[in-house]
Structure 1
C-alpha cells in the first residue's frame, strides 16, 4: 500500500516530537514515605476515553472528565484545526458511557442514569441506560429503541448498519457460558431515515447471528434443549434457509467459536477451537460440510485469544491481519506484512509502548488514532496524520511513567505436579525481599493479561510486591488448565495462589512473614477462603465484593437455568463454602462491599458477618455507599475510601505490626 511507503518517515518525525514531550515531563524524585504518590492520583476516574475518528477523518470525538467529581463530556474536534474550540456535549442528568462513529455524520452514544437507590434484583442495578444517535450536521440527538445495539458496521453501505434487539430479558450472570444463546432480533437500520428492516427474528433454535461486511447473515447459533447440544447453522449468500453445520455436546467444555468469514468462499469460515488439542487454535472451517480444514495457527504454550483485523476497517473491511495469543501481553503472529511493519514502527515511536491498538482509522488510511496501555502507561491516545504524531491525552496523565512499576511475567509449579501456573508480578522500588500481596482476579473462569492494573500499581507505590496468579480455571492457558478447576474452588484453585506466594519466598523476592491476599468478587471469595485455611501463610486477607455463600449466589439465577445448565453451574461451585468456615478464620480480615452490588448482593455480608461475630472473630468492614460491583461504578469518593482503607489496614492491622 502506498500509505506504508511514507509511514517510516512519518514515524521518525513522530518519534522526535514525542521524545521532546517525554523530556519535558516532570521526573519523579527518589520516593520516601513522606513523598508517596497521592491517593487522589489513583482515585480519580479516567480523564480521557473513547477517542474515535470519523470514517472520513474530518472529525475526532472523545469523552473527557473535566473535573475530579464530574461526569464525562463528549468533545468533537475538526481534525484540520485542533486549536479551535471543540463542540462539547453534556448528558446531564445522564452520564455518557460509550461512543461510536457509524458514518461520517453520525455517532451512536450510550448513556446511563441512576434511577433507584437499591438494586432491583440480581443483575438489575441502580442504573438505566439509553442509546442515542448524534448528528454532526444537525447538532441533534435522537433516541434509539431501548436495548438496541449495533452488531455490524457496513463499510460498503455507509448509511446503514446491522442492529439487534433482545427477544428476552437477560437474567443470567454475564460470565456464564450460555449468554451467547439468548435470542435477539436483527434489523438492517437506515441511519438517514431511522427505518429498520427485519432480517432475523431470533428464537431458541436460531438465537444469535453473525453477518459479513455486506450485511449478509452467514452464521447462527442456538441451543437444542432436547439433545442438550449447542447447534451452529449457516446459509449461503442470498439464501433464506438455515442449514445445520455443527453440533457441540453441552457437556463438552472445549471451545468452538466462529470469528470471521472468507472474503471469496462463502462456505469458508474461520474459528477458534480446540479441535482435539489442549490449546485453542485458529482453524479453517467448512460451513457446508461441517468439517475442520487447515490449521492456520496454534501454539503449545498458550491459547490463541482472537484475531487482529486490519487497522483500516472502513477502507479494507474485516480483513485478517494477524492471530493474537496469550503471553506476557497479548502478542500477534502477523499475517499481513504491512500491518506488522506499521505496528513495529508505532512501537518504536510511542513512549513505553506495550499493548498497542489502532482504535480508528480514516477510510483513506492516512489518519488514525493509536492507543497504548501498559505497566508504565495507564492509557494514552495519539493522533497520527500527515507526517506528524500528536499526543491527545490519556486515562491518567497525572501518573507519569517514572511513578509506576514494571510488571514481569513468571511461571511457577503447582504443588500437585500437574500444571505450571502463569502469573504477573508487579515489582516496587527497592530491594527484595518485599512484603507480598496476592491479588487473584475475579470470574474465576476468565482470562487476565496485565497491561496497566490500577490496584496493582497503587499497592506497588506503597512498597508491596503484587502477584496476580493465573490459577487453574483461568482461561488462555489450555483446556487442562481450565477443566482442572472444576470442583476445586477453595481447594486446588486456592493451592495455586498460595504456591505462587511460596515460590516468591523461595526465590528470595517475598518476605515469608509479610504475605497477604486481596481480591474482589471471586477474588474476594478466595480471600475469605485464605482467611480460614489451616497452617495459614498469610498475615491478613482483604475480601472485596466477596461471594461468601456460593449456593446462595447460584440461587439468584437458578430459576433461569435448564437442568443441564444448573448441573454445570453446581459443578463449577463445588468446593469450600466460606459461610461454613467463618468460625475458622484465623488471621485479621478486612471486608469491603458496595451497598448496591447487583452481581454479588450485599446479602453475602449480611449473612457472613454475624457468623464472625458469633464466633468472636474480629474484623474490619467498609461499606461503599452507592457502589455497585463493577469498576465503572467506583467513583472518586469510593476510590478514596477504598485506597485510604487499604493503605491504613495493610500498614497497621495486617498482622502484628502491619504488613
Structure 2
C-alpha cells in the first residue's frame, strides 16, 4: 500500500500525509450516521470485469483507493491513500487489467489567491509503480500549470496507452535551447507504464475542449478566444474532422450569456454512426441532437420534451458508447437508443422495483455491467450484472451506516406561488408521522443553475429523522424546466426566486403540515443565500435561518472572480442594476429578525469565507442574533465526516432552541 504525498508530485515543499487504511464508520447517533460520507465515492470496473477499483472515505476527510476481487470476493485491499489535507484523491479508472489512472487535486495559496491544481498519476493494481502522468514544469516556467490534464480516450490503442490533454506552459529560454515554447492546451498519447509520450494535437492558446471518438482519434476541438483584456470571451467555436482527414472544418458556435447557453454544444462522438451528439435549445427547452461528421453536417433531433430539458447522456463501456439520454420529470427517466440495453433496463426495473437504475461502468466486451440503484428510502447500492449468466450480485451499499434505519418517503408536490404559478417541489415527512402541525424546514437548492431531484438526500433525510417536515422547491430560476422558468437567473430575478421559496413555507402552513411558529429555512451555497434573503423579503415568515457556505453580497461574489479568466461570465450572471444592492443579504441585514446560524469552510473557493464573516458582522451591527462556525481546512462541500456530523447536530440544536421544541 502506498501513501500519496501530492506535494512531492507537484514539486512543492514536502508535506506529511496522514491517512487511514480502513474506511471511516459512522457512530451510533443520527448526526454521525447521516453526516458520514458515502462508502463509495467512486467505482470502476477492470476491462476483464474481474476487479473493481473503489474510492472510499477514511477518517476525517481523507480517501483510500481500494481494489476488490469481483470473482472470488474477500476483503478490499488498500493500494493508495490521500489525507484530504491538502491532497484529494478524485476519480480512478482502469488503463489495463493491472494498471489504473487517477486524478489528484490540491488547493493552495499563490500570491494571496487560493488556487486549485490537478495532476494525473498511474499506479499498478497491487499498489506498486506509482508514476505521475501529468507533464512536469520547471522553475523556468512563465506561468502556473494548474490543469494537470484530462483523459479523453481510455482505449487509444488498448494496450495501456491513453489520450490526455496537456496544458503547455512556456519557459524562459535565456541560456538554453531546450526551453518549452508552446503555450495552451494540446493532446498527447501517453503510455501509462513506460510514460513515453507523443504529441497528437499541438498546443493552442484558446483551446478549451477536445473530444475523441473512443478509438484514439480527436474529432472535435473547442476554441474560446480571449478578450483584449485577457479574459475568456462568451463564445466557444467548435470544429470537427471527417473520419478520413486531419483538416478542421467548422461545426458550431456556442455563446454563454448570464448562465444561458445558445447553440449546439457537442458532448460525445459515435464513430460507428459518424455523428456527434450534443444539446441545443429547441423552442425554450434543451433537446438532444446529432450532427453528421461526414462533411454534410446533417442535423437530426434525437430526443426532446415540451415540459422539461433533456440534460444528460447515458454512456456505457470503455469507449463511452452513447446508448441513451435522461431527463427529470417527477423522477429521473431514461430513453434508451440501444434496443438490447432498453430491454435489459426494463428487466432490471422488475428485479429492483421502485429504484432508479444507472449504468456506472462495463467490462471491455460489455458482458459485465456495473450498476447503481437507488430510491428515496434507499441511499443506493452497487450491483454487478453478468449478461452471460443473467445473474446479478450486490457489490456494496452506498451508505451502510444507515442500514436498519427507517427513512422518510419523498413525495413530489406542487404548490401555488403568489402570482398563481404552480411550483414543483419535493416533500419529505418524518417516517410514521401523520404529516400535520410539524416543525418544518424549507430547503432551497444550490446553484442557482441547478434543481432538486427525487431520491435520497442526506441533509433532508437527517432533518426528517429528527422530526421535521422538509420541502425542497424547484423555484423559478432553477434549471431543467426551460428558459421561461430560468428567467434571468436566481440572482437577477431574485424577487421571483425568493418569492417562490417563501411561498413554499406559506404552503406548508396553509396545508396544515407546518406549525407556523415552528417554520425554519436551511440552505447551502445559493440555498444559503436564499435562506438569508428570504427574511429580507419577509422578516416574519421563518423563525430560524441556517445558511451553509452562503453568498451574502453579490458585488463581493463578482469581485472574487475578478482575477480569473471567467470573470466576464460571472459579471454577466450577476449583472448591474438595483437588484445587486437589494438582493444582497449583507446589505439588508437590519431586516432579518430571525436568529441566524452560519457554517463555512475556510478554504472554500466557490464562495469565499469572507462572505459569511461579512454577514455575521452586519447582523451583529444591526443588533441581530448570529453565530458563525468556521471549519478549518475544508472547502465548499465540507467533505469531512466529523465536520458534517458537527454541523447537523449543531443545526438541529439551534433550530429546536429557536422554535421552542
TM tier relative to shorter chain = 0.7 to 0.9
Task: Give 1:480-559 correspondences, 5 Å limit.
Answer: 480-485=484-489, 488-534=492-538, 536-559=540-563
Alignment match, 2:55: 63
Instruction: Summarize deviations over 1:147-186 as a string: whole Å, max 9, x none.
Output: 13212222763432211123579xxxxxxxxxxxx95221
Alignment match, 1:13: none
Alignment match, 1:175: none
CA distance in 2, matches of 1:341, 1:540: 50
Residues 563/432 of structure 1: CA separation in 2 closer, same or farther (3 Å cut): closer
Secondary structure of 2:224's counterpart equals strand
Q: Give the drift of 1:113.
A: 6.5
- Alpha-carbon contact 2:99-2:123 (below 8 Å) kept: yes
Alignment match, 2:70: 79
Q: Which of 448, 452, 458 is 1:448 aligned to?
A: 452
Instruction: Summarize deviations over 1:516-545 as a string: whole Å, max 9, x none.
Output: 111111111111112333353211211111
CA distance in 2, matches of 1:452, 1:122: 36
Unaligned runs of 5+ in 2: 1-27, 136-147, 171-182, 228-232
- Alpha-carbon contact 1:445-1:474 (below 8 Å) kept: yes
- Alpha-carbon contact 1:435-1:464 (below 8 Å) kept: yes
Q: Give the drift of 1:324.
A: 0.9
- Alpha-carbon contact 1:358-1:369 (below 8 Å) kept: yes
Alignment match, 1:22: none
Instruction: Summarize deviations over 1:600-656 as a string: whole Å, max 9, x none.
Output: 222113322222222221223322233221243xx22212220111110111124xx
Question: Are 2:312 and 1:302 equivalent residues in the alignment?
Answer: no
Secondary structure of 1:548's counterpart equals coil
Secondary structure of 1:403's counterpart equals coil
CA distance in 1, matches of 2:449, 2:599: 22
Task: Give 1:567-582 correspondences, 5 Å limit.
Answer: 567-571=571-575, 574=580, 576-582=583-589
- Alpha-carbon contact 1:257-1:271 (below 8 Å) kept: yes
Question: Are 2:587 and 1:586 equivalent residues in the alignment?
Answer: no
CA distance in 2, matches of 1:156, 1:60: 22
Secondary structure of 2:188's counterpart equals strand
Instruction: Summarize deviations over 1:43-76 as a string: whole Å, max 9, x none.
Output: 223223323221112222223346x548433332
Task: Give 1:620-659 correspondences, 5 Å limit.
Answer: 620-632=627-639, 635-654=640-659, 657-658=660-661
Instruction: Summarize deviations over 1:464-491 as a string: whole Å, max 9, x none.
Output: 1111111222211111112343653531
Task: Give 1:265-284 correspondences, 5 Å limit.
Answer: 266=274, 268-275=275-282, 277-284=283-290
Q: CA RMSD in A?
A: 3.1
Question: Are 2:611 and 1:607 equivalent residues in the alignment?
Answer: no
The structure whose RCO (Cα within 8 Å, separation 6+) is larger is 1
Q: Which of 315, 322, 325 is 1:323 aligned to?
A: 325
CA distance in 1, matches of 2:403, 2:167: 43
Q: Give the drift of 1:250.
A: 5.0
Residues 215/113 of structure 1: CA separation in 2 closer, same or farther (3 Å cut): closer
CA distance in 1, matches of 2:347, 2:404: 21
Unaligned runs of 5+ in 1: 1-35, 170-181
Q: Give the drift of 1:142.
A: 1.5
Secondary structure of 2:530's counterpart equals helix
Q: Please say which of residues 518-527 and 621-630 is displaced more in the overlay.
A: 621-630
CA distance in 1, matches of 2:620, 2:255: 47
TM-score (norm 1): 0.82
Alignment match, 1:409: 412
Secondary structure of 1:208's counterpart equals strand
Secondary structure of 1:103's counterpart equals coil
Alignment match, 2:43: 51
CA distance in 2, matches of 1:567, 1:471: 23
Q: Give the drift of 1:338.
A: 1.6
Alignment match, 2:265: 257
Q: Which of 110, 130, 133 is 1:144 aligned to?
A: 133
CA distance in 2, matches of 1:49, 1:225: 36
CA distance in 2, matches of 1:399, 1:563: 42
Residues 354/608 of structure 1: CA separation in 2 closer, same or farther (3 Å cut): same
Aligned residues: 593
Q: Give the drift of 1:567.
A: 4.9
Instruction: Summarize deviations over 1:360-398 as a string: whole Å, max 9, x none.
Output: 222343333222233222232223344543322222112
Secondary structure of 1:272's counterpart equals strand
- Alpha-carbon contact 1:43-1:636 (below 8 Å) kept: yes
CA distance in 1, matches of 2:209, 2:371: 32
Alignment match, 1:469: 473
- Alpha-carbon contact 1:321-1:335 (below 8 Å) kept: yes
CA distance in 1, matches of 2:247, 2:270: 20
CA distance in 2, matches of 1:124, 1:328: 38
Residues 213/130 of structure 1: CA separation in 2 closer, same or farther (3 Å cut): closer
CA distance in 2, matches of 1:413, 1:298: 27
Instruction: Summarize deviations over 1:485-504 as a string: whole Å, max 9, x none.
Output: 36535311101111222233
Q: Give the drift of 1:405.
A: 1.0
